[in-house]
Amino acid sequence: MSTKAYYPISEIGAGKPGFSKTRSIIEAAFYGNNVVKVDTLKEAYELAKNSPGTVVTDMPVKDGELFGLEKDAKVLLFNDGAVTGRYAAARRIKGEPGVDEAKLDKVVMDAVYETRWKTMYHATCYVGLDPEFMVKAHLLIPEGEENILYNWMINFQYMSDYYNKMYRNSKPVGDGKEPDIYIFSDPQWTPMNHPDVDYSCLSDPLTLCYFDTNQNCAAILGMRYFGEHKKGTLTMAWALANRNGYASCHGGQKEYTLADGSKFVASVYGLSGSGKSTLTHAKHNGKYEIKVLHDDAFIINTETCASVALEPTYFDKTADYPTGCPDNEYLITAQNCSCTLDSEGKLQLVTEDIRNGNGRAIKSKLWSPNRVDKIDSPVNAIFWIMKDPTIPPVVKLKGSALASVMGATLATKTSTAERVAAGTDLNAIRIVPYANPFRTYPLVNDYEKFKKLVEEKNVDCYIVNTGDFMGKKVKPADTLGILETIVEGKAEFKQWGPFEDIEIMDWTLTDNFVPDLSDKDYVAQLKNSMDTRVNAVEGFNTKKGGYDALPDEALAALKKLVAEIETL
């Protein structure tokens, strides 16, 4: 699938696809006489290397010439300042109740005007790595932000000859009516008192991430963290995919080939730090032939159940990759880490979150030697990764409504990848529907797509708890063992107590994780956990004017669980 960049005169005008007010404000900035096109990774690397404040380490980029860099390219380090994570509170979604798009459009108008005094860089990439789904994305960003530009171009697919040809041969998305993605960014932006500009529409006085996803455009203002640009781009690609028959997935997917030649495709969904990357990249001691699609961003065709990766590289935390770790051989860039001189006087990264939480690096596609861009085999199972201490290490969900609503009420904890308000309890359980805080469309769209996968396509659905279960730590060995047992068809599930639609597999690998339903304290905590989900769905039905309301069957499925708990 391809998006639209060029329009016949007859298709240009008010009320036509690609010509909303917000998009017209943003797109015009890309054609200013202060704009410099950056067409290749080599150009972007040189700009980033020479940008003030960049640290050019002595760590070589492994086989950089295979993906558009010079043979002698080095890992570049750039640090952003005090903010080292995503800030969800700054997001404003055009079309949501309570979002004042008239005021926001004027904020962006003024921000665009102020960039006339700056040299602006225009880069273009592809999002989606298969002819079935490829969209073109554009980024405009000021001089001085060359590291964001370079990171963006290596995070997504730069315009190589191979992918240019693939894009030309791909099918137009949305009957040829979906326009290219345009992102205007000015990390140097600060609000200024100008006539007719009212900043009361912002949730944060110094930052804004404004999306018009129906017209594939966004403005990112006052935000230096690269993750805002990565997830901002994915936000629009996911919304575009959602409109065109795909389930948008913030998670990982892999395909197992078993000894008898059969395939098993597993999709895992969780926030940063939940274990989704660990589960996705686990090699299982070589027991299976494995193909990895991606560990963060992909889409599932809800008709064929085939899946497509949206990015070639990996934007990973560096906390678990100490200096000298073999995995660091595949780094291309690093953000918000430190550095020091080794015994040979060579400049090396200092990782492990010593400087700050959420240190990051982009690893090349070569890090995963079994990497693919599309999995044609239909997905077999969905795993909601939760950190809910009342849920055993694994349960299986039977009904499609329950399976989907448990994804919609996915319980987890705040990760260091996020910037949160002072005083936020990072250990508190919170609900993040489908582990995707980047949704810009009504929640029911995801609910119906995942329900369809279970109901019509016979996809199995599980919850895996990667946190702790009633004070007992669920170790990676437990979760990986559970996955292997399911993949090999050896899992023995049985009805869990009074729950008609939940099955359990007793698990005792590293500890006794069998829940005791005669323990009144445990039952009370389990009921509280399910009540939290009931309250969340009731909140979806009322907050933001019911924008995220779910069908009655979703709430009914959760209330049935509560009623069953009350029989204990």
Picking from 321, 280, 285, 238, the residue whose alpha carbon sits closest to that of residue 464 is 280
What secondary structure does DSSP assign to 484-502, as a single string?
Answer: HHHHTT----EEETTEEEE
In the chain, the amino acid numbered 109 is M
Distance CA 281, CA 292 (A): 7
Give the residue-averaged pLDDT of 130-152: 97
Q: Is 8 a residue whose pLDDT tops 60?
A: yes
Distance CA 247, CA 301 (A): 7
pLDDT tens figures, 479-504 = 999 999 999 999 999 999 999 999 99
User: Which residue in this structure is represented by tokens 């067409």?
Assistant: 39
| pLDDT score recorded for residue 426 | 46
Local confidence band at 515 (pLDDT 50, 70, 90 cut-offs)? very high
Give the three-state DSSP class for 138. strand
Picking from 319, 269, 273, 274, the residue whose alpha carbon sits closest to that of residue 294 is 269
Distance CA 202, CA 367 (A): 40
Local confidence band at 417 (pLDDT 50, 70, 90 cut-offs)? low
pLDDT tens figures, 220-246 = 999 999 999 999 999 999 999 999 999
What secondary structure does DSSP assign to 446-462, as a single string?
Answer: HHHHHHHHHHTS--EEE
Q: Is 420 a residue whose pLDDT tops 80?
A: no
What's the token pair of residue 82?
């005090």
Distance CA 36, CA 30 (A): 9
What's the Cα-to-Cα distance from 233 to each of 41, 172, 216, 305, 465, rounded to whole Å?
Answer: 18, 19, 9, 24, 30
Distance CA 452, CA 461 (A): 12
Give the residue-averaged pLDDT of 142-160: 97
| pLDDT score recorded for residue 122 | 98
pLDDT tens figures, 334-344 = 999 999 999 99
What's the Cα-to-Cα distance from 23 to each of 99, 173, 292, rounded to whole Å?
Answer: 16, 19, 36
Report the mean per-residue pLDDT for the chain: 94
Give the residue-averaged pLDDT of 24-44: 98
Whole-number percent of the chain with pLDDT over 70? 97
- Residue 128, burial from CB neighbour count under 10 angstroms (0-12, 13-18, 19+): buried
135 Cβ partners below 8 Å, 6+ apart? 1, 2, 3, 126, 127, 128, 173, 178, 180, 181, 216, 237, 240
Give the residue-averaged pLDDT of 385-411: 95
Give the three-state DSSP class for 232. helix
* N-term to C-term CA, the chain: 52
Whole-number percent of the chain with pLDDT over 90? 89
497: left (phi over 0), alpha (psi -120 to 50) or beta: left
Are 60 and 72 in contact by the 8 Å Cβ rule? The answer is yes
535 Cβ partners below 8 Å, 6+ apart? none
What's the token pair of residue 444?
């029911």
Give the three-state DSSP class for 542. helix
| pLDDT score recorded for residue 419 | 53
Distance CA 269, CA 386 (A): 9
Distance CA 532, CA 517 (A): 19
| pLDDT score recorded for residue 313 | 97
What secondary structure does DSSP assign to 403-453, as a single string?
Answer: HHHHHHT-EEE--TTB---TT--TTSEEE-GGG-TT--S-HHHHHHHHHHH
Distance CA 232, CA 517 (A): 44
User: Which residue in this structure is represented by tokens 């949704």?
Assistant: 439
Q: Is 546 a residue whose pLDDT tops 90?
A: yes
What's the Cα-to-Cα distance from 321 to each of 10, 259, 318, 351, 419, rounded to whole Å?
Answer: 55, 33, 5, 7, 22
Q: Is 306 a residue whose pLDDT tops 80?
A: yes
Residues in the chain: 568
Give the residue-averaged pLDDT of 374-396: 96
| pLDDT score recorded for residue 416 | 53
Q: Is 271 a residue whose pLDDT tops 90?
A: no
Distance CA 147, CA 229 (A): 12
| pLDDT score recorded for residue 275 | 84
Q: Is 425 a residue whose pLDDT tops 90?
A: no
DSSP alpha helices (H): ranges in 100-256?
101-114, 146-155, 161-168, 226-243
Give the residue-averaged pLDDT of 110-135: 97
What's the Cα-to-Cα distance from 112 to each of 4, 28, 209, 364, 524, rounded to whole Å?
Answer: 23, 9, 14, 33, 55
Give the three-state DSSP class for 155. helix
Local confidence band at 194 (pLDDT 50, 70, 90 cut-offs)? very high
Distance of CA 205 to the CA centre of its chain: 26
pLDDT tens figures, 427-482 = 567 899 999 988 999 999 999 999 999 999 999 999 999 999 999 999 999 999 99
- Strand pairing of 468-469 and 472-473? antiparallel
